[in-house]
Each structure stands twice: as C-alpha cells, then as structure tokens.
C-alpha cells in the first residue's frame, strides 16, 4: 500500500473527475490500483483465537519415601502436558464498485479461509540431586517428550455477487464458481511428530569446578525411514577462579569464571512427507468425453533425509570487579551448521523434478561477543549506569555439495522485479561469506546516458554488452560489527534512559534509488532522477551495478525515556506515581542516502539486499504515560 501510494503519479486525482462518486481508475499505471480506494472499500478481516494451557504434576519421591522424611538425596518426578491451539479465520471482500473489480471483470470478489494449528506436548521428567561430604554436588535428570503438531484448513472464494451488501458472508450466491471447472475452494491437512529421550548430569566441586554433560536422543517423523533418530550430546566445563583460596585476598575481584562448552543441536524445521513417495493432484485433461484431474508424483522423494546438525562451541569469561561496579562477559563462538536442509538443483533425468529437498552444505559462523556493565556513579541524588554489548562476526559457506549431490558451487539470490527483472543482487558461493553483492562494476555514463561498466579484463564496455562473466563481488551486506549501548541516569526524582544501536562495516544496495532514482521509471520518481542521476537517459534500461551500492553503517538513538516520580505525601492507597515521556527512533547517524538503513534485513541468507521495492516506513513514536503503583 505504501509502495503504491509512493509510486503513483502524483498528479493523478483521487476521485474520477467525470464521476466524482467513483474512485479514479489507476488502470494502465505502474500502480495498478488506487491505494486509497483499496484502503477504503476493501474489507480485510482476520480473527485469531489462541488457546494455550499446560498442567504439571510433580511428586517428590525422596524424601517422601525416606525414613522420617529426611534424606540427603532428592528425587522428584513430574509429568507435564501442554496444549496449544491457534485458529485463524480470515475474510476478504471487494465490492463491485471498486475499480479493481471493474478492471478484473468481476462484480465483487470475496474469500473466506480458516486455518487451524494444533500442537500438544507430553513430557515426563525425573530429577535427582545430592550433596556428598558437603563438597560434591551432583544433579541428574532424565526425561521423555512427545510432541504432536497438526496443521489443517480450508478456504473458499467466489466472485460476481448479486449484492455488495453480502460481503464475504454469502459466498454461494456468487455466479463465478458455477462455471464448469472453476473450483474456488481448497483444503489441506498435515501433521508431524517429534519424540525425544534425554538425560543430563552435572557435577561441581565446592562451586569451583563445574561440569555438565547431556545427551538427547531425538526423532522426527519428517526424516527418512532409517534416519529419523539423531543423537545430540553437549558438555560444558567451568572454573570459578574467584572461589579459589589463592584469590581470596583479591578484594577488588567479585567474580571471575572461565567456561567452555560444546554442543550439538538439530534442525527439523521443514514440511512433512518429503521422505516418502506420494502422488498429488495437478491440472485437468480430457479423456472419453470428460475432464479428469490428473495425478502424479508431486516431488522428488528423498528417503535419506536426515537431521541438519549444528556443532557449536564457546569459550568465555564472566567477571565482576570493584564491588560489582564493573561486570561483564566475553565470549568467542564457533557455530558450524552441517548437512544443511534445503532445496537443491538436481538433474532431470533421472529425477522427475529439477529440485530435491536434501541435506547438503556446511556453513560456519565465528565471532566474538562482549557485554560490559558499568555502575559509574551511585550517590543519594544521582546515579549513572551504562552497558555496552557488541558482536563481531564472520561467516563462511564451507561446502555446497556432497558425494551424492553435486551442483554448482554458487547460487544467485535476491532477484529484482518488474520493471527491471532478471537481475540477482547477491551470490552465495562456496568458501565465501554470505551477503556478497555480485554484479557489474559501474564505470560511468556516456553522453547519451547509457551505462558503462567494467568487463572482466578491466576494459570499459556498454552495459548492454555485459555478460555474466563480467560480474564480480563488489561488496558485502553482512555487518562486520554490531553494537548497542544503553545509559540510565537518575537525578533526584528524574530518570532518563537512552538506548543506542548501530551496525558497521557493510554495504547496502539502495533498492529505492535503483527503481525510483532515474527518469526511466514510469511513475513517481525521486528528486535524484532530476538531480544526481539526470545524466541517465530515460530511454536506457536500468542495470544492476555497484552504482547503487552504498555503505550501510549507521548509529541511532533508538529510544529515549524521561521520567519524573511525583513525591507523595504518605497515602494509604498509592505507593508511587511516575509520569514519563518516551520517544522511539529519535535520530540516525548515517551516510546512507536511502531509507532508514536499519530497515534492511541483515540476517538470513541475503543480508543487506532486498530485490523488491516494497516499502514500509520506519516510524518515529512518541509516548507519554503515567505509571501508578498501588
């Protein structure tokens, strides 16, 4: 909607000048429909019902069965049942008077859909702990968990209704679904099970040396027959140096602990039924005087589908010094995700489809995190504390194939859309980091306003002669460093909190400049089209080059809150009254010339890149409030 409003020709009237009761028809413009009309005339409703409940029964077996009810051993068991139901009821209606209906040849359109997500978990646990000779602390736990999920739903739609007053509440009265072959309805249902057995043992000696080991044996219905179960061990070690005798004299030190851990996690987050052979319905074909829905294999089956595993290890240090004035933690992490689950290009033949859902590839993230807290000033009338949290991370796509699935060593991702389709902004490539912008390198613009680029030999050529070979890595959209910091002040009854965050060392492809920044675009354009980009001819097709690539670094004041606590004379019912004022998204320091750089996604498989020009503005919010404590 924002996108439509932005790019609509600004001289277009809202209402039809020849028929002021009718919204102006945007047909033929790049914005195909009147955004105000859609906002006013279309009824889009969604009702969601969420039910979550759980119950736990816990029994302390020891000391229950111990003599006199006293024991050094504690043994308990519990059963937990949790149920989660999520119902969605959606309806949509567009009246026959809407220009969208008129342009689509519809006398009104309506749909209704209902979806239901059901999940329950049954979990049994037994906990045991004991303390031996006042020094050895031992804890152990075993358990079993059963999780069932089911997704189902149906939808119906129709068009050409006798009366606009019916909305989406009388779908059967529409004419359209009466046509032969117009199905206008659908339903679906699928489910999955996840079962695990798990156990954990932890031991510490006088709270100084800590050891925990665990194992989870987990199975998911989604994997291949012989690959359903996976084992996920974890172990962690810790040493609280500050508890040692030789550190006892160091009064400035409140806490010092070094720790290391290693663990394996599993991922089974994908659709059911990909490991078994199934037949699905497709379109229609005519035989013996009637149409049959045809049936065939809906996918390439992969009976070897197995757990994607994450192998993670961390080394860290926790500390607190100077009477806990300064505390924090430092952490180095290394996370390797292997047997990545995803769709993979496979040859036809021998396959029947050109993609199979497989376990292929390895990706690694390594980095360093720190979290520092300072209680800088603490007096009766004034206090100031702040913290700084930072992460430096690097990524590498280690492998892209295995012995069974060999494909290319790269994938192009993040494709552009009309009116400049068929370009990709990024390439994910073996041995390289995610977020690499892979495109032509901009050289200059000719007198005629044509784009010039560098070819692979470094010679300047016209972009119209550029090929895939001339593309190269021109930047990366994954921030090398992210930082956030919050500051809290108090002066007498006033309090002030500031929260800043920022990301540094990365590039963003300015997608709105790409679409709206030249005179080539057939709609509303930005000032730049007649300013810095005026030399680009309106008759020359736009091309993806690093001309639109900019540094994305930013630092912003994300939130500020000023409060005042009103001093109260002793009052029976009121403890405290505080008035406050909050502003969110206050200011951003950046050299990026496009929209708020923090609206670009920097996680996921295509950080810093957005192929479409959809736009939702980042808002600045002001909140005033009164907080009353009774």
Site residues (CB under 8 A) for other proteins, limited to 321-360: 345-354
468 binds other proteins (CB under 8 A): yes
CA distances, 260 to each of 169, 331, 334, 361 (Å)? 60, 9, 12, 27
Q: Which is nearer to other proteins, 191 or 261 (CB)?
A: 191
C-alpha triplet 65, 66, 71: angle, nearest 5°: 135
221 binds other proteins (CB under 8 A): yes
Exactly one of 5, 80, 122, 389 binds other proteins (CB under 8 A); which one? 122
Site string for other proteins, 124-143 (x = CB under 8 A): x-------------------
57 binds other proteins (CB under 8 A): yes
Q: Which is nearer to other proteins, 181 or 531 (CB)?
A: 181
Shortest reach from residue 569's CB to other proteins, in Å: 55
Q: Which is nearer to other proteins, 104 or 618 (CB)?
A: 104
DSSP string, 170-234: -GGG-SGGGSTT---EEEEEEEEEEEEEEEEEEEEETTTEEEEEEEEEEEETTS-TT--EEEEEE
**274 contacts 299 by C-beta, under 8 angstroms:** yes
Q: Which is nearer to other proteins, 195 or 241 (CB)?
A: 195
Q: Which is nearer to other proteins, 252 or 295 (CB)?
A: 295
190 binds other proteins (CB under 8 A): yes
370 binds other proteins (CB under 8 A): no
Shortest reach from residue 341's CB to other proteins, in Å: 17
Query: Do β-strands 209-220 and 229-240 pair in parallel, antiparallel, or remain unpaired?
Result: antiparallel
Exactly one of 25, 127, 158, 220 binds other proteins (CB under 8 A); which one? 220
Site string for other proteins, 169-188 (x = CB under 8 A): ----------xxxx----xx
* Number of residues forming the site for other proteins (CB under 8 A): 90
Q: Which is nearer to other proteins, 180 or 251 (CB)?
A: 180
CA distances, 584 to each of 90, 557, 560 (Å)? 32, 8, 7
Shortest reach from residue 27's CB to other proteins, in Å: 7
With CA atoms as reference, report the closest residue to 150 among 119, 195, 114: 119
- Its sign, for the CA torsion 604, 609, 613, 617, is positive
Site string for other proteins, 293-322 (x = CB under 8 A): xxxxxx------------------------
Binding piece for other proteins, criterion CB under 8 A, among 40-48, 387-395, 421-429, 590-598 = 421-429
Site residues (CB under 8 A) for other proteins, limited to 580-609: none
Site string for other proteins, 253-292 (x = CB under 8 A): -------------------xx-xxxxxx-xxxxxxxx-xx
Whether the bond into 349 is cis, omega within 30 of 0 = yes
Q: Which is nearer to other proteins, 45 or 189 (CB)?
A: 189
Site residues (CB under 8 A) for other proteins, limited to 505-564: 520-523, 538-539, 541, 543
Exactly one of 90, 118, 208, 219 binds other proteins (CB under 8 A); which one? 219
Token duo for residue 194:
């996840």
Tally of CB atoms within 10 A around 483? 17
Residue linked to tokens 């005042």: 564
Shortest reach from residue 415's CB to other proteins, in Å: 11
What whole-number distance in Å separates Cα of residue 510 and Cα of residue 396?
A: 24
**198 contacts 174 by C-beta, under 8 angstroms:** no
Using DSSP, state whether 295 is helix, strand or coil: strand
Q: Which is nearer to other proteins, 298 or 390 (CB)?
A: 298
DSSP string, 61-123: EETTTSGGG--SEEEEEEEEEEEEEEEEEEEEEE-TTSHHHHHTT-S-EEEEEEEEEEEEEEE
C-alpha triplet 56, 60, 63: angle, nearest 5°: 175
**386 contacts 378 by C-beta, under 8 angstroms:** no
226 binds other proteins (CB under 8 A): no
Binding piece for other proteins, criterion CB under 8 A, among 33-41, 102-110, 525-533, 584-592 = 102-110
With CA atoms as reference, report the closest residue to 302 among 344, 361, 362: 344
376 binds other proteins (CB under 8 A): no
228 binds other proteins (CB under 8 A): yes
59 binds other proteins (CB under 8 A): yes
63 binds other proteins (CB under 8 A): no
What whole-number distance in Å separates Cα of residue 347 and Cα of residue 327?
A: 56
Q: Which is nearer to other proteins, 27 or 494 (CB)?
A: 27
């Amino acid at each position: 909607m924002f996108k439509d409003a932005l790019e609509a020709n600004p001289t277009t009237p809202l209402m039809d000048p020849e028929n002021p009761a009718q919204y102006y028809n945007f047909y033929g413009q790049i914005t195909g429909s009147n955004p105000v009309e859609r906002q006013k005339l279309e009824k889009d409703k969604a009702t969601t019902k969420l039910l979550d409940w759980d119950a736990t029964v816990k029994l302390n077996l020891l000391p229950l069965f111990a003599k006199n009810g006293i024991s050094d051993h504690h043994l308990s068991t519990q059963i937990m049942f949790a149920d989660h139901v999520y119902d969605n009821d959606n309806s949509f209606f567009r009246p026959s008077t809407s220009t969208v209906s008129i342009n689509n040849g519809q006398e009104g359109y309506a749909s209704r859909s209902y979806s239901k997500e059901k999940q329950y978990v049954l979990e049994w646990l037994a906990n045991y702990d004991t303390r031996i000779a006042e020094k050895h602390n031992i804890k152990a736990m075993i358990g079993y968990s059963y999780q069932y999920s089911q997704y189902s739903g149906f939808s119906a739609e129709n068009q050409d209704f006798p009366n606009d007053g019916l909305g989406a509440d009388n779908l059967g009265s529409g004419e359209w679904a009466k046509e032969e072959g117009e199905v206008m309805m659908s339903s679906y249902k699928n489910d999955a099970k996840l079962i695990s057995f798990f156990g954990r043992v932890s031991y510490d000696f006088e709270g100084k040396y800590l050891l925990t080991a665990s194992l989870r044996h987990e199975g998911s219905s989604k994997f291949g027959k012989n690959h359903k179960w996976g084992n996920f061990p974890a172990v962690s070690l810790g040493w609280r140096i500050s508890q040692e005798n030789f550190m006892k004299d160091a009064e400035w030190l409140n806490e010092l602990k070094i720790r290391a851990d290693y663990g394996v996690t599993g991922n089974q987050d994908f659709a059911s039924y990909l490991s078994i052979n199934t037949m699905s319905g497709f379109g229609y074909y005519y035989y013996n005087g009637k149409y049959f829905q045809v049936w065939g294999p809906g996918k390439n089956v992969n009976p070897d589908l197995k757990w994607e595993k994450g192998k993670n290890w961390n080394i860290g240090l926790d500390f607190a010094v100077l009477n806990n004035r300064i505390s924090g933690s430092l952490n180095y992490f290394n996370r390797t995700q292997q047997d990545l689950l995803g769709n993979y290009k496979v040859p036809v033949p021998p396959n029947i489809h050109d993609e199979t859902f497989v376990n292929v590839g390895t990706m690694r993230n390594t980095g360093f995190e720190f979290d520092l807290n300072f209680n800088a000033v603490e007096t009766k009338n004034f206090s100031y504390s702040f913290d700084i949290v930072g992460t430096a991370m690097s990524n590498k796509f280690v492998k892209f194939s295995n012995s069974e699935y060999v494909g290319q060593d790269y994938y192009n991702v993040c494709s552009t859309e009309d009116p400049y389709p068929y370009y990709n902004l990024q390439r994910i490539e073996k041995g390289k980091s995610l977020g690499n912008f892979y495109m032509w390198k901009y050289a200059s613009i000719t007198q005629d306003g044509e784009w010039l680029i560098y070819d692979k030999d470094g010679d300047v050529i016209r972009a119209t002669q550029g090929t895939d070979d001339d593309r190269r890595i021109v930047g990366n959209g994954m921030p090398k460093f992210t930082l956030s910091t919050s500051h809290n002040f108090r002066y007498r009854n006033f309090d002030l909190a500031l929260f800043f965050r920022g990301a540094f060392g990365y590039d963003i492809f300015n997608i709105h400049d790409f679409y709206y920044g030249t005179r080539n675009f057939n709609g509303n354009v930005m000032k730049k089209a007649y300013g810095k980009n005026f030399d680009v001819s309106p008759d020359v097709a736009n091309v993806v080059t690093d001309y639109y690539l900019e540094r994305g670094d930013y630092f912003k004041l994300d939130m500020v809150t000023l409060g005042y606590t009103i001093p109260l004379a002793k009052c029976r019912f009121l403890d405290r009254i505080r008035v406050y004022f909050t502003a969110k998204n206050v200011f951003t320091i950046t050299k990026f010339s496009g929209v708020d750089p923090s609206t670009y996604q920097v996680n996921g498989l295509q950080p810093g890149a957005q192929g479409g020009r959809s736009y939702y503005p980042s808002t600045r919010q002001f909140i005033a409030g009164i907080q009353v404590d009774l």
